[in-house]
């Protein structure tokens, strides 16, 4: 059934890509194609909006920051050369999301839109995706246009709102979206097969994770919102939220695409050595390493991490990411996982936010992560016995391992845990570029931002700090 749904989604996406929307201008029948749709389809818009989730699940840069991977011949990204990034693409996605909401609320279009499912449910799904994209944006850049964004020519120079203010407002948007959900599936949704129960779990899981990210900046709000989500998130590995890639090049896993053209990414020595632990390079202590990485080609019984931040040209001397990720275009990649939820609950318990037991949730988190990666029960028991819970640093380490290749969430967690003082220690590379002084704390705005919106850009920098990789964001202080 899942494969059929994926095929249908690909057909929808192909159809959407074939036609482009234009402004309604009356040029008579000469401007009407008998083969083109005359009304915007909310199902096709949703399909297109969801397409961008793929890139968030396969990003390389935050996985380099978290030191899961090292680079080969060209190590500049792991040396933090990349500094300036544009958020314009995000606002392009948000514009399409805004259109879905408008079509489902406008009296002239909402009846037609309802052919793709209850209007309220389409609005809820679109709104939760809006939060998803903005969540990662404010975690990357900090202050951004929010309250005055997407006003077009009515306000071409929007102000930048505070990171924590936006973040709390986004959690409010999640609450509003969850309150809209009613009975009835929606069309055009290939993420969750149109099932609103899954959308509700997605919203609550995202809410829980975001609430924990407020643990430094606004612990009271964070604790309250965390407890609201508790009990309503994904609750097993079977409910892990993933992006469903296809083997077809139109929607396949970006990891496979990368390794079709050039071998650039290896398992880092930071990650490999941590998982080898008290074991050996041939028999790692952590049984997840053989599930996440391949042995080195030159020494086919050994797991060998490539020096992080260095130029690694002897590729066959090191371990690659497991082949069922980098050579399987249809390999699903995680959005949020059950292990991530359990470790978040463990940390919240350690912070005193809940009445749950941190040690119990810590052990359950390890087990969920191991099972997610297909580790045998006996190996799980051996590892758990050797890794008892001690304190929040135990949670931080195991969560870091469990979120292998989960990019932006891993980087965000590391920065927040660093603010608390119990993060997994990461050593910056010997060579650092881009003006960085260590593992990046944020991304700088695009180089033209100061010219396009100078007054508001200057105001943001005056509040937030220098526009570089080093400024610690409000949420991570």
Q: What pLDDT is stored for residue 367 in this prediction?
A: 98
Do residue 132 and residue 182 come from a single domain? yes
Domain assignment present for residue 304? The answer is yes
Domain hosting residue 143, numbered range: 2-16+45-52+87-234+447-476
pLDDT band at 40 (very low <50, low <70, confident <90, very high): confident
- CATH for 106: 1.25.40.390
Same domain, 166 and 279: no
Q: Is 160 found in the same domain as 267? A: no
Residue 472 has pLDDT above 70, yes or no: yes
What is d(CA 33, CA 21) in angstroms, rounded to the nearest whole number?
12
Over pLDDT 90: what percentage of the chain? 89
Residue 371 lies in a domain: no
Asked if the structure places residue 118 within a domain, the reply is yes
240 within a domain of the structure (yes/no): no
Are residues 283 and 211 part of one domain? no
Q: Are residues 224 and 274 in the same domain?
A: no
Within its chain, how far is the Cα of 130 from the centroid? 13
What is Dmax (Cα atoms) for the chain? 76
pLDDT > 70: percent of the chain: 92
| Average pLDDT of the segment spanning 375-390 | 98
Residue 317 lies in a domain: yes
Structural domain ending residue among the three candidates 297, 326, 355:
326
| C-alpha to C-alpha distances, 171 to 57, 229, 353, 384, 440, nearest whole angstrom | 21, 11, 18, 35, 25
Q: Which of these, 160, 238, 244, 145, lies nearest to 194 by C-alpha position?
A: 244
Domain presence at residue 362: no
Number of folded domains that form the chain? 2
Same domain, yes or no: 198 and 227: yes
Per the CB < 8 A criterion, the answer to whether 121 and 196 are in contact is yes
105-147 pLDDT, tens per residue? 999 999 999 999 999 999 999 999 999 999 999 999 999 999 9
Q: Give domain status of residue 58, yes or no.
A: no
Chain centre distance of CA 239: 17
Out of 262, 294, 326, pick the residue that ends a domain.
326
Return d(Cα 135, Cα 471) in angstroms, integer.
Answer: 19
Residue 429: predicted pLDDT: 97
Residue-wise pLDDT tens digits, 446-470: 999 999 999 999 999 999 999 999 9
Q: Which residues is 160 bridged to in the sheet?
A: 145
Residues 9 and 151 both lie in one domain = yes
User: What band does 23 get if pLDDT is binned at 50, 70 and 90?
Assistant: very low
């Amino acid at each position: 059934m899942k494969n059929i749904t994926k095929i249908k989604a690909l057909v929808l996406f192909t159809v959407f890509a074939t036609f482009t929307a234009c402004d309604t201008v009356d040029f008579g029948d000469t401007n009407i194609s008998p083969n083109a749709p005359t009304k915007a389809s909310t199902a096709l818009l949703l399909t297109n909006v969801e397409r961008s989730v793929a890139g968030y699940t396969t990003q390389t840069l935050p996985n380099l920051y978290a030191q899961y991977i090292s680079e080969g011949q060209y190590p500049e990204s792991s040396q933090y050369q990349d500094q300036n990034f544009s958020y314009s693409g995000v606002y392009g996605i948000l514009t399409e999301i805004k259109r879905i909401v408008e079509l489902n609320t406008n009296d002239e279009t909402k009846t037609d839109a309802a052919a793709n499912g209850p209007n309220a449910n389409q609005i809820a799904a679109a709104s939760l995706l809006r939060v998803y994209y903005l969540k990662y944006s404010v975690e990357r850049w900090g202050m951004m246009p929010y309250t005055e964004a997407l006003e077009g020519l009515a306000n071409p120079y929007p102000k930048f709102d505070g990171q924590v203010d936006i973040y709390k407002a986004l959690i409010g948007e999640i609450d509003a979206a969850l309150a809209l959900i009613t009975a009835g599936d929606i069309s055009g949704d290939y993420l969750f097969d149109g099932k609103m129960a899954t959308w509700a779990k997605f919203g609550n899981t995202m809410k829980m994770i975001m609430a924990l990210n407020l643990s430094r900046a606004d612990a009271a709000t964070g604790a309250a919102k965390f407890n609201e989500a508790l009990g309503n998130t994904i609750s097993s590995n079977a409910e892990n939220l993933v992006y469903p890639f296809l083997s077809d090049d139109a929607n396949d896993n970006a990891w496979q695409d990368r390794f079709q053209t050039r071998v650039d990414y290896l398992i880092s020595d930071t990650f490999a050595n941590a998982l080898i632990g008290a074991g050996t390079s041939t028999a790692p202590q952590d049984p997840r390493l053989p599930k996440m990485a391949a042995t080195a080609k030159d020494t086919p019984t050994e797991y060998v991490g490539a020096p992080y931040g260095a130029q690694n040209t002897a590729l066959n001397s090191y371990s690659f990411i497991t082949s069922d990720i980098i050579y399987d275009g249809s390999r699903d990649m995680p959005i949020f996982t059950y292990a991530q939820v359990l470790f978040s609950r463990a940390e919240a318990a350690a912070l005193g936010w809940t009445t749950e037991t941190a040690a119990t949730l810590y052990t359950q988190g390890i087990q969920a992560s191991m099972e997610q990666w297909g580790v045998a029960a006996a190996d799980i028991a051996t590892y758990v016995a050797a890794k008892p819970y001690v304190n929040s640093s135990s949670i931080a380490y195991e969560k870091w391992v469990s979120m292998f290749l989960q990019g932006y969430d891993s980087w965000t967690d590391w920065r927040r845990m660093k603010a608390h003082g119990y993060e997994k220690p990461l050593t910056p590379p010997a060579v650092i570029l881009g003006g960085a002084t260590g593992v990046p704390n944020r991304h700088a705005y695009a180089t033209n931002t100061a010219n396009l919106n100078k007054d508001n850009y200057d105001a943001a920098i005056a509040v937030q700090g220098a526009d570089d990789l080093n400024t610690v964001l409000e949420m991570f202080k």
